[in-house]
């Protein structure tokens, strides 16, 4: 067996011996009681952006969908996996919040900014990332590359938020006042979150929004 796979399996043994042992009653209640998560979290597949870690969340709290560059294609896209997660979370689980969380340093956004020509030999990736292009085109091409990349990450989160209400399940929950949408960006260096402020049309530090931060 490969060394890495053995490490992962040993990791599960460690998890059972430590976290799962300490939280035995909580995990048993979750296992038999079913899930009732507080939010649908749509984030990037990037291995460095781990939703439960960066929000100190426990099992059962976040219903998570991760894909390359945290995209939400418009309703009726041929890829139904995002729509399936949205419909399940909103209609069956009644989540009161949907969070779209991007991150600075996102390779998917960078590839879209650079024109995707490198990905032509990878048809699925090419097709998927073409969803980022519209957001990338909204960013001033005269900006210095690093700033342009950061702006494109932010702009893409705003775009995905805008696509959410194209799903009838989201539109009706919003109209009923049962759902709120949130745009976040995570910074890999500082480990902090920025939050989209609709009125300012800008991302503000999360620390500005929480008492005692
Ligand atoms: Zn990413």
CA of 32 to the centre of ligand 1 (A): 34
| pLDDT score of 213 | 56
Spatial distance between the Cα atoms of 95 and 87, rounded to a whole number of angstroms: 10
CA of 66 to the centre of ligand 1 (A): 10
> Residue 17: how many CA atoms within 13 Å on its side-chain side?
6
| pLDDT score of 196 | 98
Going by their DSSP bridges, the two strands 39-44 and 97-103 should be labelled as parallel
CA of 146 to the centre of ligand 1 (A): 15
| pLDDT score of 119 | 73
CA of 67 to the centre of ligand 1 (A): 8
What SS3 class is residue 44? strand
CA of 2 to the centre of ligand 1 (A): 27
| pLDDT score of 188 | 98
Name the residues annotated as catalytic: 44, 46, 48, 103, 106
pLDDT in tens, the chain (213 residues): 579 999 999 999 999 999 999 999 999 999 999 999 999 999 999 999 999 999 999 999 999 999 999 999 999 888 899 999 999 999 999 999 999 999 999 999 999 988 877 777 899 999 999 889 888 888 999 999 999 999 999 999 999 999 999 999 999 999 999 999 999 999 999 999 999 999 999 999 999 888 875
Q: What is the CATH number of domain 35-208?
A: 3.40.1050.10
- Structure tokens that stand for 56 in this block: 């100190």
| pLDDT score of 21 | 98
Helices and strands of the chain, counted as H and E runs: 9, 6
**CA nearest 99: which of 39, 158, 152, 141?**
39
Spatial distance between the Cα atoms of 179 and 173, rounded to a whole number of angstroms: 6
CA of 190 to the centre of ligand 1 (A): 16
**For the chain, which residues make up each domain, given as ranges?**
1-34, 35-208
| pLDDT score of 115 | 81
Measured from the Cβ of residue 75, the count of other Cβ atoms closer than 10 Å reads 19
What would you measure as the largest C-alpha separation in the chain, in angstroms?
Answer: 56
CA of 31 to the centre of ligand 1 (A): 31
| pLDDT score of 212 | 72
Full-model pTM: 0.95
């Amino acid at each position: 067996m490969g060394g890495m796979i053995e490490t992962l399996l040993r990791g599960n043994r460690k998890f059972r011996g430590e976290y799962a042992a300490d939280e035995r009653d909580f995990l048993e209640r979750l296992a038999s009681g079913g899930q009732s998560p507080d939010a649908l979290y749509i984030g990037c597949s990037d291995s460095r952006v781990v939703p439960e870690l960066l929000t100190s969340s426990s099992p059962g709290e976040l219903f998570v969908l991760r894909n390359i560059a945290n995209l939400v294609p418009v309703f009726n896209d041929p890829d139904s996996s995002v729509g399936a997660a949205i419909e399940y979370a909103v209609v069956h689980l009644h989540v009161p919040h949907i969070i779209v969380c991007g991150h600075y340093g996102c390779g998917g956004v960078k590839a879209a900014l650079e024109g995707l020509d490198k990905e032509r030999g990878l048809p699925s990736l090419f097709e998927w990332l073409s969803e980022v292009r519209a957001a990338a085109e909204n960013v001033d091409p005269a900006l210095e590359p690093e700033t342009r990349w950061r702006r494109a990450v932010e702009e893409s989160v705003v775009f995905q938020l805008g696509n959410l209400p194209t799903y009838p399940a989201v539109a009706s929950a919003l109209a009923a006042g049962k759902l709120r949408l949130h745009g976040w960006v995570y910074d890999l260096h500082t480990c902090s979150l920025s939050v989209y402020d609709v009125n300012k049309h800008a991302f503000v530090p999360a620390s500005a929004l929480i008492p005692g931060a």
